Amino acid sequence: MLNKTDLSRRDVLRLPSAGAALVLAGGGNTAYVQLTSDAGGFAFERVTLEMSLKPFRSVDRKSIRAVCDEMFTSWAPLIRHCAGVAVLLWTADGSEILEYSGRMDAEIEWGRYIGDANPPRTPPPDDPNREGGHARNWLYTEHPARITYGDLREIIAVLRQSGREIIGKPVVIGATFDPGGEFARSPFKFERHAEIASGTTRGPNSWVNCAARLKADSKAYAGFPNGIPNGTSFGTFLGRQSMHFLSDLGFDYIWFSNGLGFSLSPWNVTGSLFNGISFNPGKASSVRDAILSFWHDFRKECPEFPIETRGTNLMLGADLSANASPYQDIYEGRFNVIAPPNSPWAAIDGDFGLEIVGYLSRIADLPPNHKFPFRFYIHDPWWLNSPWLDRYGREPHDIYLPLAIARLDGDAKITPPAYLEFLTIDNSYGQMPDQVPNEVIPHILTAMRDYSDSPGIITWICPFQEYHQMVFGVSPKPEQPFFGDWFLRGAVNLGFPLNSVVSTENFIMSYRKKSDFYRDSVLLAFVPTIGYELENVLFDAIRQGQNLLLYGALTHASSRLLNLLNLKLNEPLEGDLELHSALPTDTIQQGKAGSALRYRATLSGGGVDTVEAAPEAAGTRICATVSKGATKRVFAVVRHNPLGPNSGTIGWVRGSFSGSVGNGRLPEPDDPTQFFQAESLMRLMLTEFGYSLLVTKPTPQTPVPLILIARKRNGFFLSTYSPSTVATVRLRFPHGAPLLLGAETWIKDGYSQYTMPRAWHKEVRCCVEQTQASEISCVEYFSEFPGIRRRILIKGLRAATVHFYPEDQKSVIMAANDMRLHNRKSLPYSVEDHGRRLVARNITGNLLISW
């Protein structure tokens, strides 16, 4: 029963259910909940239930309360694991803020449609009769409610009261602003003030340009009772209107949707600085300043309310190089902003490379609050689909993959997502089916139970600040961040298991504090961004036994880095090249993959210009070359122990942008039957570092499974997405073939083999080495005896060496072909890696591991 009048700005609330401290602060009518650092026992600091107004078919108080009670009751099993709750209301598209006059009896043009609320003036070419949702709209029900601003204020008040009484936790309410016109009819955006909708995201004049200026308007608005003066910036107008709207109606924060504030016209590969053919960095500063002017103008008028963001659908490097999106300035601008979550759009399209690399790149650095969300798409209240039920087919890949990440800070600690957000809890008809929370919640909680506590097998040193310098600095090279992130996106889509990220600055700080934090991870770095200080740290890391994989052009690399790789520069090649690889390859059962490489120098950050410096140098292995006629260049190389017998391994892949930009939102990939997919080399190169992930698939066009490998409690947790469930993967780790807990596998030639379903989340506690082929089963076994917490039963071993990764330092009992455990005696095993790996040798038959 708390409201803002009960509390000062820095009062502390103790939640009786978990004892976590909450600081309540903010600019709304109730306190804005922010968890302090002593909070514990929660999966998330806050869960956000996003919803439209469609469930409110009647707006009398009793009907409103029934909807609110149903919502909180349905999600209560999850809310009990979160410190606080937010409800983000998709009232319309933000036009309700623009139109607000201060009158509570004024009717709202709210989002009561299915399909495009503002359909294009010209029918789409593929729907000339306007039969589909992108060319027209329908009312979601025959007689939708008439909703006024006063009704909306009542809904907000009842949401708070219901939340307090049903779940016993504070509830904050968010408002939304979307720059497009998909959700509700908007005379303001597209008729009276069409001058602000100059963006082309959904076609000509379809998107609000955040840097636009408004023409004069004599209509009275809450923040402009005498009308809008000519030339008023959109940021000023939205900020002042938001201040009145949020305060008067009882909101606590505002959400900027669909790239608002990050780009003048988001979503496409091309943009203000890139036309698909060439880059124009000369415009970068002016575009950046225009975007930042929106933030400054908004904050001048609306200084207190927190801002949460959707961001764009792309990646840091892509946004910067094409659209001059100034993430660093926004994060550091004291705008009281939360970093964007993972993109829901990329996952819907199955482009998990885009989702994962975009997510990692945007959270490598964070605003001062050090918070970022995870967002999951369960229903769509506008376009007739419910992703959990139809697009995803009730498969949890878009839960486990983005929650397999590890964001590392400067203190060598993992930063988990603070907020969990659901878009949306109601579907296009305003229904809130219990089936969805009942099915989704267990996966969310499992993913957070297994959330990373250590770096994964690959840690990307993301050049967050360096990317900004390459776009806005004195010697701009926007083609480098463009290539760098699009290349990594392609690599992840082709099975590269990238899940961990640390910014350059945080890596240097954390490595100097705790160098062994990265001991089990292969460091990943983009060559064009390696500066003097980072290079020194990387050389020291290699000298101490750390492994490093590089990608990108060596054209401007230092001489000592070239010497370390045993490479030198020569005249660059580009165009159609023939690629030769010495790495293990995937198996294609029907047809043959292309071996030609269509190399686009402009999109790949330059040509291929490296050759081997000293063929006789020890430890050098040329892993891939490209040639044009008789001219050959090195495309990938690895050197083992280059700085002494105990030093690590360094590898390098030049990489290529293996597709054309086209006119769409995503690049068009090259035909895999004709051209080699250069991004696949990143996964294949991991064999040189002890990790081998090989695929058997029917055709070259069959997509490969995506596998992210997180570390938790000293184990490996594999989260997978198989766009084609006929593909088979063969796995080998540094200490043998991994055994997925709860599965059987065929062990042959040192690999375990699995045919994976669409989505899988599996634990690995054991790896096996054996020369004989056999079917091996690895399952959880019941504990049976007091004092035994867990047991794993492995069957089918043949003279095997079993490597076990214990969860903790508890006593471990290993018994071969003996299930009794009465005397609690263990067979002999050796303790390796300071107790992080236990090794039992020459085991045939069954092995029962208890602890």
What does the pLDDT read at residue 201?
76
Q: Per the structure block, which two tokens stand in for 537?
A: 């740290």
Residue 34's pLDDT band (boundaries 50, 70, 90)? very low
Contacts of 616 (CB under 8 A, 6+ apart): none
Residue, of 186 and 4, whose pLDDT is higher: 186
Amino acid letter for position 83? A
Helix (H) or strand (E) segment spanning residue 242: helix 234-249
Structure confidence by residue, pLDDT tens digits, 377-420? 999 999 999 999 999 999 999 999 999 999 999 999 999 999 99
pLDDT at 158 over 70: yes
Selection from 56, 102, 84 nearest residue 174 by Cα: 84
How are beta strands 728-732 and 692-697 bridged, if at all?
antiparallel
Cα 21 to Cα 6, 17, 37, 39, 167: the distances in Å are 17, 11, 8, 6, 17
Give the separation between CA 32 and CA 24, rounded to whole angstroms.
5
Average pLDDT, stretch 112-129?
Answer: 91
Average pLDDT, stretch 664-683?
Answer: 93
> To which residue do tokens 């240097």 refer?
508
Give the separation between CA 411 and CA 430, rounded to whole angstroms.
45
Sign of CA dihedral 654, 660, 664, 669: negative
pLDDT at 456 over 80: yes
Q: Per the structure block, which two tokens stand in for 299?
A: 């904050």
- Cβ proximity of 592 and 700 under 8 Å: yes
Give the separation between CA 137 and CA 148, rounded to whole angstroms.
22
Average pLDDT, stretch 564-576?
Answer: 98
Q: Per the structure block, which two tokens stand in for 371?
A: 């918070």
Give the separation between CA 133 and CA 162, rounded to whole angstroms.
35
pLDDT at 22 over 90: no
Give the separation between CA 522 and CA 683, rounded to whole angstroms.
12
Structure confidence by residue, pLDDT tens digits, 96-109? 999 999 999 999 99
Helix (H) or strand (E) segment spanning residue 563: helix 559-565
Structure confidence by residue, pLDDT tens digits, 600-651? 999 999 999 999 999 988 899 999 999 999 999 999 999 999 999 999 999 9
Domains of the chain, earliest start first: 458-712 (3.40.50), 715-850 (no CATH)
Could you give the dihedral angle defined by the CA atoms of residues 190, 194, 198 and 200, in that order, rounded to the nearest 10 degrees? 20
Record the pTM.
0.94
Give the separation between CA 408 and CA 36, rounded to whole angstroms.
19
Average pLDDT, stretch 253-279?
Answer: 92
Give the separation between CA 37 and CA 695, rounded to whole angstroms.
44
Q: How far apart are the first and last CA of the chain?
A: 47
Cα 225 to Cα 99, 196, 237, 240: the distances in Å are 12, 20, 12, 11
Buried b (16+ CB within 10 A) or exposed e, 411-430: ebebbbbbbbbbbbbbbbeb
Q: What percent of the chain has pLDDT over 90?
A: 88
Helix (H) or strand (E) segment spanning residue 567: strand 567-573
Residue, of 349 and 759, whose pLDDT is higher: 759
Residue 18's pLDDT band (boundaries 50, 70, 90)? very low
- For the chain, the residue count is 851
Give the separation between CA 379 and CA 432, rounded to whole angstroms.
9
Sign of CA dihedral 507, 510, 513, 517: negative
Q: What is the CA radius of gyration of the chain?
A: 28
Residue 821's pLDDT band (boundaries 50, 70, 90)? low
| Mean pLDDT for the chain overall | 93
Distance, CA of 820 to chain centre: 46
What does the pLDDT read at residue 662?
76
Sign of CA dihedral 733, 739, 743, 748: positive
- Cβ proximity of 710 and 402 under 8 Å: no
Give the separation between CA 544 and CA 722, rounded to whole angstroms.
37
Q: Per the structure block, which two tokens stand in for 38?
A: 């002593």
What does the pLDDT read at residue 29?
42
> What is residue 382's three-state secondary structure?
coil
What does the pLDDT read at residue 88?
98
Selection from 546, 583, 778, 544 nearest residue 683 by Cα: 583
What does the pLDDT read at residue 819?
76
Selection from 218, 223, 235, 136 nearest residue 179 by Cα: 235
Structure confidence by residue, pLDDT tens digits, 340-361? 999 988 888 899 999 999 999 9
pLDDT at 762 over 60: yes
Least confident of 9-18, 171-180, 213-222: 9-18
> What is residue 318's three-state secondary structure?
helix
